[in-house]
Amino acid sequence: MCGRYGQWSRKQRLEEYLRLAPSTGGDLIARYNIAPGTHALIVRAGCERPSFESYLWGLVPFWSKDPKAGMRPINAKAETAHEKPMFRKLLRERRCLVPADCFYEWKATASGKSPYCLRMASQEPFFFAGLWDVWHEGHADAIPSFTILTTEANELTSTIHNRMPVIVRAEDYARWLDPETADPEAVSDVLTPFPAEEMMAYPVSRAVNNARNEGPQLIEPI
């Protein structure tokens, strides 16, 4: 699964990765402990001019009668998303990329669960595969939200947890966001474990367990 992550790269750098035209406005806020139920940035398919938008992490489907009731899934299994009523339409029509610089997983130890920070070995930013939706779209009380797709853990992550977020390779960004690609089979190869040899993992302070804690000290190895 993916239940916590960080995103601190500058906007210009992320735009260059996605080959987006430079945007105006201030830089992005560095965040080292993004938690479910908070807003985070996505880049979604179907936009005339793709850009970073703030969406709630925890999917609120458009058909929900009460957005405060029921589950708000923060993750969706890539292997079964095309079968699930909550996700299958979104996989066809509402895919997104979620910028990140790290994610955290917890390893079971004799002294309790210990957090690990997982990053690219190059320390470059990357993008999760996500799905988005908008509850009450077009109304003042609309809730735009997203979920992150997960897959089997690669050899590195499996030493910590049995699942990991889907990390999209650079050559697949445009295809994943292409609104003309409506067949889930056409993007199924994107939803596979990222190569372990291109990643690194190390233990970090349990301070990351508290979603109220923030700052670059959370990603320092211990």
Tens digits of per-residue pLDDT, 15-57? 999 988 887 777 899 999 999 999 999 999 766 677 899 999 9
- Look up residue 159 and give its amino acid: T
Give the CATH number of the domain where residue 157 resides.
Answer: 3.90.1680.10
* Catalytic residue, candidates 96, 102, 105, 117: 105
Told to judge if 105 belongs to the known catalytic residues of this protein, a careful annotator would answer yes
* Catalytic residue, candidates 2, 96, 102, 117: 2
pTM of the model: 0.96
The pLDDT of residue 47: 67
Look up the domain containing 150 and give its range.
5-219
Told to judge if 117 belongs to the known catalytic residues of this protein, a careful annotator would answer no
Region for 196 from its dihedrals, namely left if φ exceeds 0, alpha if ψ lies in -120 to 50, beta otherwise? alpha
Integer Cα distance of 62 and 68 in angstroms: 13
Structurally, how many domains does the chain consist of? 1
Is 70 exceeded by the pLDDT of residue 117? yes
Is 90 exceeded by the pLDDT of residue 121? yes
Is 80 exceeded by the pLDDT of residue 114? yes
Residue in the block written with tokens 């850009």 = 51
| Average pLDDT estimate for 85-107 | 96
pLDDT digits (tens, 9 = 90+) for 140-165: 889 999 999 999 999 999 999 999 99
- Look up residue 220 and give its amino acid: E
